Amino acid sequence: MSHPQTLYDKIWKDHVVTSQENGLDLVYIDRHLIHEVCTPQAFDGLRAAGRPVRRPDCTLATVDHNVPTAHRGKTALIVDPESRAQCEAMDRNVREFGISYFGLQDARQGIVHVVGPEQGFTLPGLTCVCGDSHTSTHGAFGALAFGIGTSEVEHVLATQTLMQKKSKNMRITIDGTLPEGVNSKDLALHIISIIGASGGNGCVIEYAGSVIRGLSMEARMSICNMSIEAGSRSGVIAPDDITFDYLRNRPLAPRGEEWERAVAYWRTLKSDEDAKFDVEVSISASDIVPVVTWGTSPQDVVPITGTVPDPATFSDPDRRKAAERALIYMDLVPGTPMANIRLDNVFIGSCTNGRIEDLRAAANIVRAAGADAAVAAGVRAMVVPGSSLVKRQAEAEGLDAVFRRAGFEWREAGCSMCVGMNEDQLAPGKRCASTSNRNFEGRQGAGGRTHLMSPSMAAAAALRGALTDARQFRLSSSQAAVAIEPLTPEQLGVTLALSNVISRTSPAIHQPTTRAPTSSASGKVFSVLKGIAAPMYIENVDTDLIIPKQFLKTISRTGMARGLFYNLRNDVNSGAAVDFILDTAPYDKAVILVSTGKNFGCGSSREHAAWSLEDFGIRCIVAPSFGDIFRNNCFQNCMLPIELDVETCRSLAQDAAAGIEFTVDLERQEINCGDREGSPIQFTIDSFRRNCLLNGYDNIAATMQHAESIADFERQRTTNWPWLDGVGYTSQKEGKSSENRSMDW
């Protein structure tokens, strides 16, 4: 009998193109979603090396982070020049490389993680990546979906594969019944508060149990979306009839006989009864209440009926320090009842909670508050649908009217104030109730203060002008929501307004030339690094803190040192430099960073974090643990992330604080400094990564040595899962050849 397997094991096994002796696997990628922030440099890389996109039929593009939400003009009308340049780069790249694209004026445009499922691009059993950390969202379909950095985006565009190390298996089982007024966002935040923001490091989380089985697809997406905030690479939920019902007739889902075949396969995608998980967590649903965050990490969760915690009560010293810092940033005093905290802004939207069910939940609170319900005086409340189709659906149901009547702004689709890369930013010192996923320092705007919560809680907060228990607002039967007519498949594909059809073409596979691994174009290698190390004592240093959003709006890879730790180095209001270790001698020449706090580089997949450190001169980071995507991004840039236990990191930080010079020797895998000579600290790096760094290999060329195996895998894939090939949008606009047709449908 074969070894019992988890769902993750099964998907992984089905996608291994070839296994390396060093424990890494070359994994085939079925679906690649792309957006404008993390791709310009990847396309430039392809162009420079003369490489094509291998599978345009498996790639789908949209614009979301930089788009205005006040209007829907052409790309050329985007006011901010950097935002415009990123969107224009996307317009150009999709055209040049022949990729299906939902541009700014397309009726299907939206946040990449809303668009993929909406179109049936996301399916069970597949591997899905995107240069975005919340790619974990797509795991709700029983897919293995994870975020990657820009170099890996380029790798996938060129090879349709990634060299990956398999993660551990973690299962979180939620049984029982969710109490009334408690929803999937409360559940997601509750989970993170229990396992912590680094609780899922190195793992893929499978969500299981009766509560998960009872959730809608949209609720499951919200939960998988937040997996990254628990430090895990991905979340996954076994597909079932709820999944299949959601997908049936979506524009890119298989049809007819192929649908039947797909469903039969999808039904096998579940963990075997006695499969072993490396980590198991059980949660009782009845323990969960409506929650909000009080601090600057998504793990800082408290019931809305509770009070701001006192850091002195935290036994873990690092946690205590982090809490003290968070309370200063959030301008909160321990013991303050959460429901007494007044607000300036409310943001309802994002890839966590910008779907139709989220907007219905928020609108139901407004309806329940009565005909003269109104946003509290002095509060600015925005509703930003996750996609243009969600917006259209909400308008068909009259939700926009409910919001507008009460004084909410009804906007166009995009990421908006979740990250503030467009005009929608939280002003310094302002406090926002937000349905997004990150309450990091400066996340919604430099100096802004974010409280995370569910859509119903955010709507209730908008009406009261303070954090509020949404259970106060109950719909009477006469106020119950009107009958809901979902958009038809035709509307989802927008075939009436736009003459695109979905066609199954035999996939055009574009092969890059096979080359032996050569030194990377940059010529960078890593062997021995000597120099000053700077200590850092913050837990969960997120990549927003390493480099804030305004520095992601570039289309180049260079000149990013200016953005490094920008909000720690500069006063939020005046922009003037403040004391910061990296601006103080001798640390202004640091080549190594030693973090005593775990989970360094958590959060966003922005490779800009690695680029900015490197541009500053830092090529090695030592920490007790790393965010998975950040760690990979370091390797891609010939930088060395070294994981050591907390005690060793603390002791190295002491040496760093004493200004002692360090030597990091990758060949020997050891760190020497001061009087450690003779008894160096040992570390381990897997042999593949080590070789790449020592020799400065071009990873894409290394992968293309397996060109034959990749082609074999693709042939087998066409036989086993034909629905994964060649499903794409084909423009049938008359008189336009595929070369010169507009991709901005």
Ligand X SMILES: CC(C)[C@H](C(=O)O)[C@@H](O)C(=O)O
The residues binding ligand X (CB under 6 A) are 37-38, 65, 132-134, 147, 419, 552, 604-606
Among 203, 381, 390, 419, binds ligand SF4 (CB under 6 A): 419
Among ligand SF4, ligand X, none, the one that 37 touches (CB under a kind-dependent 5 to 8 A) is ligand X
β-pair type (24-28, 16-19): antiparallel
Question: What does 456 interact with, of ligand X, ligand SF4, none (CB < 5 to 8 A by kind)?
Answer: none
Q: Are 386 and 351 in contact (CB under 8 A)?
A: yes
Partner touching 637 among ligand SF4, ligand X, none, CB below 5 to 8 Å by kind: none
Q: Which is nearer to ligand SF4, 136 or 595 (CB)?
A: 136
> How many residues make up the chain in this entry?
745
Binding-site partner at residue 457 among ligand X, ligand SF4, none, CB < 5 to 8 Å by type: none
Residue 426 is a binding residue for ligand SF4 (CB under 6 A): no
Question: Given the complex with ligand SF4, which of 415 and 701 has the nearer CB atom?
Answer: 415
Nearest-CA neighbor of 614 among 579, 638, 648? Answer: 638
Nearer to ligand X by Cβ, of 26 and 224: the residue is 224
Host H or E run for residue 368? helix 356-368
**Which of helix, strand or coil describes residue 19?**
strand
436 binds, among ligand SF4, ligand X, none (CB under 5 to 8 A by kind): ligand SF4
- Residue number of the CB closest to ligand X reads 604
**350, interface contact from ligand X, ligand SF4, none, CB < 5-8 Å by kind:** ligand SF4
Q: How many distinct helices (H) and strands (E) make up the chain?
A: 25, 28
Among 57, 118, 132, 441, binds ligand SF4 (CB under 6 A): 132
In SS3 terms, 275-301 reads as CCCCEEEEEEHHHCCCEEECCCCCCCE
DSSP 658: T
> Helix or strand or coil: residue 361?
helix
Q: Min. distance of Cβ 439 from ligand X in angstroms?
A: 12
2 DSSP 8-state letter: P
Q: Of ligand SF4, ligand X, none, which one does residue 557 interact with (CB within 5 to 8 Å by kind)?
A: none
Distance between CA 337 and CA 340 in Å, rounded?
Answer: 5
Shortest distance in whole angstroms from residue 606 CB to ligand X: 4
605 binds, among ligand SF4, ligand X, none (CB under 5 to 8 A by kind): ligand X
d(Cα 352, Cα 137) in Å, to the nearest integer? Answer: 8
Q: Residue 479, by phi and psi: left (phi above 0), alpha (psi -120 to 50) or beta?
A: alpha
Centre a 10 Å sphere on the Cβ of residue 282 and count the other Cβ atoms it contains: 11
What does 338 bind: ligand X, ligand SF4, none (CB cut-off 5 to 8 Å by kind)?
none
Instruction: State which residue, 39 or 500, has the beta carbon closest to ligand X.
Output: 39
Check: CB of residue 341 under 8 Å from CB of residue 334. Answer: no
Q: Which of 680, 463, 443, 402 is nearest to 567 (CA)?
A: 443
Omega before 428 within 30 of 0, i.e. cis: no
Report the C-alpha gap between 596 and 656 in whole angstroms.
11
Binding flag, residue 14, ligand SF4 (CB under 6 A): no
Name the residue nearer to ligand X (CB basis): 38 or 529: 38
State the Cα–Cα distance between residues 205 and 223, nearest whole angstrom.
Answer: 11
Nearest CA to 467 among 427, 439, 425? 439
Q: Is 133 or 468 the residue whose CB approaches ligand X more closely? A: 133
Least CB distance from residue 563 to ligand X, whole Å? 13
Q: Nearer Cβ to ligand X, position 134 or 411?
A: 134
If the CB atoms of residues 212 and 446 are measured against ligand X, the closer one turns out to be: 446
Residue 437 near ligand SF4 by CB under 6 A: yes
Q: Which of 99, 221, 230, 351 binds ligand SF4 (CB under 6 A)?
A: 351
Per CB under 6 A, 415 contacts ligand SF4: yes
- Comparing CA positions, the residue from 419, 421, 409 lying closest to residue 352 is 419
Closest CB 141 distance from ligand X, rounded Å:
19
In this structure, which amino acid lies at residue 288? Answer: I
Helix axes of 150-159 and 40-49: crossing angle, nearest 10 degrees: 50
Which member of 232, 436, 540, 599 binds ligand SF4 (CB under 6 A)? 436
Strand ranges of the sheet holding 100-102, from the earlier edge strand across to the other edge: 100-102, 59-62, 31-34, 127-130, 144-147
Query: What is the three-class DSSP state of 102?
Result: strand
With beta carbons less than 8 A apart as the criterion, state whether 421 and 84 touch: no
Which range touches ligand SF4 (CB under 6 A), out of 324-332, 411-419, 587-595, 669-677? 411-419
Residue nearer to ligand SF4 on the CB measure, 183 or 450: 450
Whether 201 contacts 230, CB under 8 Å = no
Stretch of residues binding ligand SF4 (CB under 6 A), selected from 242-250, 412-420, 576-584, 595-603: 412-420
Tell me whether the omega of the peptide bond preceding residue 586 falls within 30 degrees of 0, making it cis: yes
- Return the bridge partners of 16, or none: 27
Question: Minimum distance between the CB of residue 351 and ligand SF4, rounded to whole angstroms?
Answer: 3
Question: Is the distance from CB of 203 to CB of 169 less than 8 angstroms?
Answer: yes
Q: Does 34 bind ligand SF4 (CB under 6 A)?
A: no
Cβ nearer to ligand SF4, comparing 270 with 438 = 438
Give, for 147, the enclosing helix (H) or strand (E): strand 144-147
Question: With respect to ligand SF4, which residue has the nearer C-beta, 354 or 465?
Answer: 354
For ligand X, the closer of residues 39 and 164 by Cβ is: 39
Choose which of 32, 134, 319, 411 interacts with ligand SF4 (CB under 6 A). Answer: 134
Which residue, 113 or 171, has its beta carbon nearer to ligand X? Answer: 113
Backbone φ, ψ for residue 451 (5° rounding): -115, 120
Min. distance of Cβ 574 from ligand SF4 in angstroms? 27
397: partner contacted, choices ligand SF4, ligand X, none (Cβ within 5-8 A by kind)? none
Considering only 25-33, 326-334, 413-421, 556-564, which stretch makes contact with ligand SF4 by CB under 6 A?
413-421
Establish if 93 lies at the interface with ligand SF4 (CB under 6 A). Answer: no
Indicate whether 418 belongs to the interface with ligand SF4 (CB under 6 A): yes
Binding site for ligand SF4 (CB under 6 A): 64-65, 111, 132, 134, 350-351, 415, 418-419, 436-437
